[in-house]
Structure 1
Amino acid sequence: MIGVLQGFATLAAVIGVGFFLAHRRIVDADASKVLSTIAFNVASPALALTLIARTDVTQVLSRQLLAIVVGVLVPVAVYVAVARLVWQRGLGDTVIGAFAAAYVNGGNLGIPVAAYVLGNATYVVPTLLLQLVVLTPFGLMLLDHDAARRRGTGGIGWRRALVRPLTNPLTVAMIIGVVLSLTGTPVPAVVGAPLEVLAAMAVPSMLLSYGVALRLGGGFGSGGSRAEIALCSALQLVVQPLVATLTAAYLLGLEGHALFAVAIVSALPTAQNVFTHATRYGRGQLLARDTILVTTALCLPVMLVIAAVLG
């Protein structure tokens, strides 16, 4: 558990640096956008490519993955239904809200949690690959379509929308990583070395950008309904782990440590990537920011409850 606390402390420290820089007026809101742009277009693609390329993607085909998929689909469906039917949210805002409700911080927090709480970092790999290979490309496709429609072009058409992700650096990096993994092709050192340096920028740039936005982006809940923040947080921290755990136990027959792993990984907080995507596309920034804050603050107590029940 000490490793998990260290993971949380590291996140808080880097976010705090961004907050302090903004508070002292060393950087402004434009700096947050620049950091997010670098993370989205350069650092995150490098991180995705290097991570997937050195991972055996075939290992995601497991009962754990099926439980996690169900755990993701239920909160996404609930949020989309409420956002579209009750709050009348547009496509872009709905996508960001769905990410906030179901896209977990499997990288910079999930890895230490899996390593120190579960005893093996590979427990988080299925979640990471599900998010990087399936959820992110699909979500970015919808966000690209929404962005084109808001520019007054009437959208880009669903046929073109299916192809458009191939122009997105993050999606392209994921595809390359999957191909390298499946074929067992190593990344040449002359390419891999600079990629590793760029990949190392991803998490710090996202966290710094988030810290700046916390200071300059308005007060908590200023971007809309606090009920929406509460819904996303509850879906992320309560519904997702509950559904995934029940699915794993009663439909897939998982038990013991494997069941505990599904519950813990599903209880991770909303990822900083969600805020990066929100900033990149100009939709749902404050919802993403506030949901990340709430879920990160509350996920540790949730994990302690899970440990008491299943650990």
Structure 2
Amino acid sequence: MFNVLLGMAVIIVVGIGWRLILGNDSAETIRSHLAKAVYQVFLPALVLHVLWQVPVDMNTVRVPLVSAISVLLSLLAAFLIYSSGHLVKGFMKVASPNKAVGALLLASAFGNFSYLGLPVLSQTFGEWSQKVAIQFDLLASTPILFTVGIMVARYYGSAAKGLHPALALLQVPALWAAVAGLALSITHAPMPIWLGNSLSILGAAVVPLMLLSVGMALRWQSGWLGRIPVLLPVILIQLTLMPLIAWGASIGVGMPEKLLAPAIIEGAMPTMVLGLVICDRFKLDTTLYAEAVTVTTVLSLLTLPLWLQVVL
């Protein structure tokens, strides 16, 4: 596991170095295009390829159910801690804590289940475990993000013009790929060799590009050390509480032993990178959210091996 994380850390560090060399503006432009390519092409190809070959059974329900319980209970825990605004006002100079509270709620509840979960699971347990990351994210976390998450962002930020959340959810390419993959699996449709090879080649690019994108998204802002007390609940929820919830929920739904460890490790992922886009759109505290991504991602390189030692 150490060698796996070390290899992934090297790619993330390359992304950080690339950002430092290019400068924030140029690096953010490149990262944005890179993320779009993964989001619109490479990830959907991987999702279709994996789910087409996975039998649809009770595990197709169990994994998303564990994900939904983990995300919603983590969001509830964050709400109980942050909703009053006292913690934000105590350590940050803000006239209104709402924008910071909204960012912190999203940072606490939605993990980097695909962008980091896919690489970690596939490199640790094998390619078969990719289905856990995909089901955990696309069949539960993503729908919750584009419904409950958007409602939270609108409430604490500003209502952005655009599609209704339900319609925005329908524009997620990987979600359509998941639906198609499940349908093809249910109907036992054979996968043409040429298509399988093409999807495999496209899907192989997901892991390195995701890790590179994560590295380019990490950034430090002046005064970050003083905001650590505000970020501490996010750290504890994402890296400790959520995997514990995932563990308990997995046992509760009767998760097979083979899938138990991957499901728990999925719950131990750091704050998702995609939340930066939502914070920008709804005028939440993007700087604070970016710090949550950075701190939890760096610490996850230490906590993930610990969780693996516990669950294996």
Same fold flag (TM > 0.5): yes
| 1:290 aligns to 2:290 (yes or no) | no
Q: Could you say what secondary structure the match of 1:57 adopts?
A: coil
Does structure 2 retain, via aligned residues, the 8 Å contact 1:101–1:233?
no
| 1:39 aligns to 2:38 (yes or no) | yes
Q: Cα deviations across residues 4-41 of structure 1 (Å, max 9, x unaligned)?
A: 22321221121122223333339633222222222222
| 1:139 aligns to 2:155 (yes or no) | no
In 2, the alpha carbon distance for the partners of 1:101 and 1:76 equals 15
What aligned pairs does 1:62-141 form with structure 2 within 5 A after superposition? 70-86=69-85, 88-89=98-99, 94-100=105-111, 105-115=116-126, 125-126=131-132, 128-141=134-147
Does structure 2 retain, via aligned residues, the 8 Å contact 1:56–1:181?
yes
Aligned to 2:276: 278
Deviation of 1:225 (Å): 3.5
Superposed CA RMSD? 3.8
Instruction: Indicate how the Cα distance of structure 1 residues 58 and 85 shifts in structure 2: closer, same or farther if over 3 A, else same.
Output: farther
Which residue, out of 11, 17, 20, partners 1:20? 17
Aligned to 1:226: 228
Does structure 2 retain, via aligned residues, the 8 Å contact 1:271–1:292?
yes
Q: Could you say what secondary structure the match of 2:117 adopts?
A: coil
**If the length of structure 2 is used for normalisation, what is the TM-score?**
0.72
Aligned to 2:2: 5
Q: Could you say what secondary structure the match of 1:24 adopts?
A: helix
Does structure 1 retain, via aligned residues, the 8 Å contact 2:51–2:185?
yes
In 2, the alpha carbon distance for the partners of 1:188 and 1:81 equals 51
Which residue, out of 202, 206, 209, partners 2:206? 202
Does structure 2 retain, via aligned residues, the 8 Å contact 1:54–1:181?
yes
Instruction: Indicate how the Cα distance of structure 1 residues 302 and 226 shifts in structure 2: closer, same or farther if over 3 A, else same.
Output: same
Q: Which runs of 5+ in 2 are unaligned?
A: 89-97, 281-285
**If the length of structure 1 is used for normalisation, what is the TM-score?**
0.73
Identity %: 19
Instruction: Indicate how the Cα distance of structure 1 residues 296 and 140 shifts in structure 2: closer, same or farther if over 3 A, else same.
Output: farther
Which amino acid in the other structure matches residue 136 of structure 1? T
In 2, the alpha carbon distance for the partners of 1:104 and 1:208 equals 10
Single out whichever of 35-44 and 72-81 deviates more from structure 2. Answer: 72-81
Which residue, out of 219, 239, 242, partners 1:240? 242
Does structure 2 retain, via aligned residues, the 8 Å contact 1:221–1:287?
no
Q: Cα deviations across residues 203-244 of structure 1 (Å, max 9, x unaligned)?
A: 222211222233xx3249849932343222222332223334
Q: Cα deviations across residues 257-300 of structure 1 (Å, max 9, x unaligned)?
A: 93x9635641454268x214534763533322332222233221
Aligned to 1:118: none
Single out whichever of 263-272 and 226-235 deviates more from structure 2. Answer: 263-272
Q: Could you say what secondary structure the match of 1:55 adopts?
A: coil
Aligned to 2:182: 178
In 2, the alpha carbon distance for the partners of 1:142 and 1:72 equals 10
Aligned to 2:306: 301
Does structure 1 retain, via aligned residues, the 8 Å contact 2:66–2:250?
yes
Aligned to 1:48: 47
Does structure 2 retain, via aligned residues, the 8 Å contact 1:40–1:276?
no
Aligned to 2:56: 57
Does structure 2 retain, via aligned residues, the 8 Å contact 1:48–1:177?
yes
Instruction: Indicate how the Cα distance of structure 1 residues 41 and 49 shifts in structure 2: closer, same or farther if over 3 A, else same.
Output: same
Q: Which runs of 5+ in 1 are unaligned?
A: 116-120
What aligned pairs does 1:253-264 form with structure 2 within 5 A after superposition? 258=257, 262=260
